[in-house]
Amino acid sequence: MADKHSSPTDRVEALYRELVTHYGGGDDRELRAAAKLLLVALAKFRAHGGRRWAELLDEYVDIVKHDPGRLERMLQSNSGTSPDELQA
């Protein structure tokens, strides 16, 4: 796993790689690892997203579906090393 000085995004990527390794040579191991992260993220999003959590989720899904460039920029901007550098 990534060291404590890496960004949160870097640590999530490291966890993803760890999950892929955990699934070994199984079919769709990358998809299974991504699905596991997504399920955990959805549970946290719902728990902490307030009354508008579903609307906010739809906004993010829309970005993923229709604006891959924006998604990439969001991921890159969240690769900062300090909390004040993070943006959604």
Distance (Å) of CA 48 to CA 1, 9, 15, 36, 37: 26, 19, 21, 18, 16
**Residue 43 falls inside a structural domain:** yes
| pLDDT level of residue 6 (50, 70, 90 thresholds) | confident
Per-residue pLDDT tens for 22-66?
A: 999 889 999 999 999 999 999 999 999 999 999 999 999 999 999
The count of domains in the chain is: 1
* Range(s) of the domain holding residue 58: 8-85
Q: Does residue 3 register a pLDDT over 70?
A: no
21 within a domain of the structure (yes/no): yes
How far apart CA 32 and CA 23 sit, in angstroms, is: 8
**Residue 3 belongs to a domain:** no
